[in-house]
Structure 1
Amino acid sequence: MRKRLATAAGALLALAASVLAAAPAAQADAQATPGFHVADGRLLDANGGDFVLRGVNHAHAWYPDRTAQTLKDVKALGANSVRVVLATGDRWTKNDTADVAAVVAQCKQNRLVCVLEAHDTTGYGEQAGAVSLSRAVDYWTSVKSAVQGQEKYVILNIGNEPYGNTGYASWTADTKNAIARMRAAGFTHTLMVDAPNWGQDWSFTMRDHAAEVFASDSAKNTVFSIHMYGVFNTADKVKDYLNRFTSQHLPIVVGEFGNMHSDGDPDEDAIMSTARQLGVGYLGWSWSGNGGGVEYLDMATGFDASRLTAWGQRIFSGADGIKQTAKEAGVFSGTGPATGSCAVGYRISDWGNSFNADVTIRNTGAADVKGWQLAFAFPGGQQLGSVWNAKAVQQGTQVQAGNESWNETIPAGGTVSFGFNGSSTGTNGVPAAFTLNGAACAKS
């Protein structure tokens, strides 16, 4: 999207001495604890729990004096994350190491996961002044000390909308190179990569090369981000795009979207409902401060949480909105997976009235499980169809699935998988809870 944001005059505000003094301690926070990571196409937090981004974007690079209050406000409204605009210094005044450290500290103080993005790459190849992903990597390397040790709280979005509608065929090679350089520089964070075509991937360049890009990451810890504006103006387009990723067990989030746009009317209802059904994260654009004709994308008028716009009301309080679907990251609440020694992954490929579900049971205990029964409840009007690699029955909304002779044992640390198809007359989605032989399992 071509974003015309009103920029704040002058240099960034000076940082408080107390925040600077705390930065070294923050950088050293729990280095030994793993951070966010990708498993079986899902984003997991440091405790191993499924984490689904539900938040908004904030233009910190232009409005640094608004950041502290913005983070408090979006947290109070139910968000679990915020995507923060940073500038590399190539197009806009650089957000330096001290400033980035302060932003991370403020996110943590408000129990928000920080998705940090470098914005100067926007529309590279088409937009005058835009810089390459390689320059974005240079920026991240220059501020590395601000995010090192924060892998439990921070996701690094390498570059915003890194190609316009010119030269986007280079996206695959350039993204692979950027990921490789980030890893070589010692970044162990989950990395997020945006699509080309102003983030909307109408050419399907990211969609068709995502598996290749993911495989190139030595850490296998990359998440893909699609921006949904006018290109995604029907439910079919939204569902098809997101299902292409989830059906391949590739991690996808909607990194930006709005309720209207000059390039077409995005179907925000379909974006939010499909994200909920598939367990896909979303981050709406944007809290406040839009200018140049796209002021309608503000969620809060004049950064005032008491004056939410129609878009702000929709994303926070509407169906499938943030208040209804957001869950705080386990690293803040002190909770991880459900008690027990199992974790269940449930992936849907949804076609409206019919769907496929792929189910993976992971034995996280120290002993083999011999003979298994998995129980769960369908969340809507689903009806079980044919089943493979398991025997299953349905009574009302309740489903019981058990082993076949060839997959009777789940080794310690191992997995078994089965699948089924079905029909749906209501809103599809992931079951709320699973039990394995009567014991609660985590969702993965």
Structure 2
Amino acid sequence: MYKEMGYGAGVPLANKAKIAALILHDVGSKEERDDWVEDFKAGNIDLLFVYNMLLTGFDAKRLKKLYLGRVIKDHNLLQALTRVNRTYGKHRYGYVVDFADIRSEFDKTNKAYFDELQNELGDEMEHYSKLFKSAEEIKEEFEAVKDVLFQYDTLNKEIFSRQVTEMQDRAQVLALKKALADARSLYNLCRLFGYDDLLQRLPFAQINALYNEVDNHLAMLNLKDRLENQADTSGLLNMALEEVLFKFVKIGEEELKLANELKDALRRARESMTSNVDPKDPEFIQLKEELERLFKNRNLKEVTQDEMKHNMLTLNKIQDKVREINRKNRLLQSKYSGDIKFTRVHKRLVENGSISDNERRIFEALHQVKQQADESVMQNRNILDNESYFERMIQRSVVQQFHLAQNIKLTPDSTRYINQLVVKEYLDEFNGVTPW
């Protein structure tokens, strides 16, 4: 039944409900009730009062506010709430005005529904559980994604593409791809639940392009792997195996040919070694010692053909590992705007293990220390002549950025350690001392 609802003179028109209707299961005919529903959908009725009606099979996009005057239970509660769960026009949210205190019943019903899904879906539940994430859970996942992405330049697609192309470890590429896929899922969840503040935490405008870049590179690595493992790869090596370092070609004087190839392999390995910007990297030190041990005090004329072949294989492995170290160094160096000093400091702090178990937080603190130190040195280059003053200045910055800004608990020893690393890098650069 219809009823006009006026509010008197002087009430703004927008605050007036023109017409309301009461729909009961035992009042009026079915045809009348259907007409009232259609009138509401068309906007001819402003308010619907219902009792035991329209919980199922009722779909009105313009319904954006639901008033509950009694407790509804179980599946009826969920069906009632879903009447307002879609966007409509400029309305991104639906609203429930609870006069009956349904909170405990909602929690109980929601848990029962979740448990039912768990039983039905089993292992597949992992894919559906993302629908039930809270804002806090989404924030935690944001942090995990940022931890993976922070080494890469996600704002510059050209640089990012170059960084990805240099990656040869398939597991690392897969981890990066998963992080970007998780970022896309988080974006959709934030849009769905209206967590607008979280949308500022990652460069979502770039995510799809970055994901495609990684996916394409992964496809190339997979192609390369397939070609390398084919029984007959003739004619395909030039396309997919461009990183091959050694070619064995049978000629008359095989030992001489192998010796020349071995010398060339050694030269290539040494070039990779000298391209390294962090000679104190423990892994790099091991490779360097292995290379020195391989050729120290050896006369190539005394090396047998089998030894030459074995040494070339060893050199190949060493060069691959050094190239990977150099690639990671370049990634980190780009995070510090090309500053080699802080690339080395960053790595020492991560290797130390006692500063923080979160590498991204170390970077965020250290990056601020760098900015403050660079600004001070730029304003007064002579500040580096006063070592004690420079040390005190850096120490204040370290405490401020690590302890206060990033909440990284520093002991006096760890504070001194960070301070000494940073100060030494600046002084070595100032005095022309090379890390080698």
TM-score bracket, shorter-length normalisation: under 0.3
Of structures 1 and 2, the one with the larger relative CO (CA 8 A, separation 6+) is 1
Question: Which is richer in strand?
Answer: 1
TM-score by length of 2: 0.21
Question: Which is richer in helix?
Answer: 2
TM-score by length of 1: 0.21
Pick the structure with greater CA Rg.
Answer: 2
